[in-house]
A and B are shown apart, each in its own frame.
Chain A
Amino acid sequence: MSDATATEYGNEAQFEDYFALLKPRVMSLVVFTAAVGLLVAPGSVDPVIAFASILFIAMGAGASGALNMWWDCDIDAIMKRTQNRPVPSGRITAHNAMVFGLWLSVISVGMLAITANFFAAGFLAFTIFFYSVVYTMGLKRRTPQNIVLGGASGAFPPMIGWAVVTGGVSIESLLMFALIFVWTPPHFWSLSLFLNSDFTKAGVPMLTVTHGKPTTRRYILGYTVLLTIVSLLAAFSSIGGPVYLAVAVVMNAQFLLGAWKLLNRSEAAAEADFFTAERKVFKLSLLYLALHFTALLVEAGLRALDLNVANWPQVV
């Protein structure tokens, strides 16, 4: 084997590289929230249809991930966190990532239309469009509000799951949307507090880059207060209940406390302990969302077993 051959083939795309284009970690969140949306919805669907629908929603999310990696390959190459992605590392060409993303979009939307209904499929198409075109191509490099508005694309999956069963939208699915939508900014901003240098280098106008860290800390607290309201509101809807309320009270108290601590930290103190508190809030935010959706699932299970509390107050 000559060295020339090694260089030529050593970087060839493997199956795993195409899988990495789908952003598997984001996809796992989409699978989970879409599944909860589908399971808590009133009515039921055939288990095969439910499984296939979630798979196609995940495939659509993967498609937008691939399109995002195609468009962002220039800034991905600059940021340490994303340098090893298949496109910036040269294992997959940007063109191939785009073609792969487009085909997956077509297949996932088409298959969801056949499997579930046209409304859910249209919603998935809109979500892919929103993430790839509105967020990735439009907002991400232009405004520090990129995360706020872009968060909508990550918040649609439970609504799509709901739409698979009901064929429409309702206040409960909007509440699940609102929960992820309002959760996204404090989640990402706590990340950007300790990954700021990456975003500065790539010229992505994150709030930490454009308005500084003290402002970002204030915004995190503001959004956490808003998130608490949305989270508690969902407890008093037809998908909420005492289990959900208990989880919401504990998690919101912790998140608020974390955000309050972040507000009162100086940059010197944060740098001195390598952003321990910021990392803690970021990790807490992940647990926050996971537990909220798990609680919704538990409530749905209790309702199915007729173990729910009768006359649970519903304000929405």
Chain B
Amino acid sequence: MEFRKDHEIHTRRFRSNVMLGLVLCGFVALIFAITISKMMGGATMVEMEASDHVLRPQLLKDTQ
């Protein structure tokens, strides 16, 4: 069975929806990046983890 070809307005709306979707995804990514950079406060990941009380071998190696 063959599907009916989309009306021109639907292809246009689809395009607009995709663009809006991309903008929203970009916004989510931006908020995530802001959150990470605020949490890190300029510190490296090892320094961040050093404040954690779970001692991991990798952390020991890095700080030695």
- Give residues in A with beta carbon < 8 Å to B: 1, 5, 9, 12, 14-15, 46, 48-49, 52, 55, 114-115
Contacts A1-B7, A15-B19, A46-B42 given; indicate if A114 touches B12 (C-beta within 8 A). Answer: no
Query: Which B residue sits closest to A46, measured CB to CB?
Result: B37
Chain A residues, CB < 8 A from B16: 14-15
11 contacting pairs across A/B (C-beta < 8 A):
A9-B9, A12-B9, A12-B13, A14-B15, A15-B15, A15-B20, A46-B42, A48-B36, A49-B34, A52-B33, A115-B34
Question: Which chain B residues (29-43) contact chain A, with CB distance < 8 Å?
Answer: 30, 33-34, 36-38, 42
Most buried by B among A5, A15, A49, A55: A15
Extra A-B contacts (8), CB below 8 Å, given A5-B9, A12-B13, A48-B36: A12-B12, A14-B12, A14-B15, A46-B37, A49-B37, A49-B38, A52-B34, A114-B34
Shortest Cβ gap from A245 to chain B (Å): 35
Contact-residue bracket for chain B: 10 to 19
Within the assembled complex, what's the spacing in Å between the Cα atoms of A174 and B8?
52
Within the assembled complex, what's the spacing in Å between the Cα atoms of A15 and B19?
7
Shortest Cβ gap from A51 to chain B (Å): 8
Please give me the 8 A-B residue pairs with the lowest Cβ-Cβ distance, nearest first. Answer: A15-B19, A48-B37, A15-B16, A9-B9, A46-B37, A48-B33, A52-B34, A14-B16
Chain B residues, CB < 8 A from A46: 37, 42
Shortest Cβ gap from B8 to chain A (Å): 8
Cβ-defined contact, B30 with A52, below 8 A:
yes
Cβ-defined contact, B30 with A55, below 8 A:
yes
Within the assembled complex, what's the spacing in Å between the Cα atoms of A48 and B42?
11
Contacts A9-B9, A12-B9, A14-B12 given; indicate if A48 touches B20 (C-beta within 8 A). Answer: no
Chain A residues, CB < 8 A from B42: 46
Chain B residues, CB < 8 A from A15: 15-16, 19-20
Within the assembled complex, what's the spacing in Å between the Cα atoms of A52 and B37?
11
Query: Which B residue sits closest to A19, measured CB to CB?
Result: B19
Within the assembled complex, what's the spacing in Å between the Cα atoms of A14 and B33?
29
Query: Which A residue sits closest to B19, measured CB to CB?
Result: A15
Shortest Cβ gap from A131 to chain B (Å): 23
Within the assembled complex, what's the spacing in Å between the Cα atoms of A5 and B12?
14
Within the assembled complex, what's the spacing in Å between the Cα atoms of A213 and B13?
47
Query: Which A residue sits closest to B33, measured CB to CB?
Result: A48
Shortest Cβ gap from A117 to chain B (Å): 12
Query: Which A residue sits closest to B10, measured CB to CB?
Result: A9
Query: Which A residue sits closest to B42, measured CB to CB?
Result: A46
Query: Which A residue sits closest to B41, measured CB to CB?
Result: A46
Shortest Cβ gap from A21 to chain B (Å): 14
Chain B residues, CB < 8 A from A12: 9, 12-13
Shortest Cβ gap from A41 to chain B (Å): 17
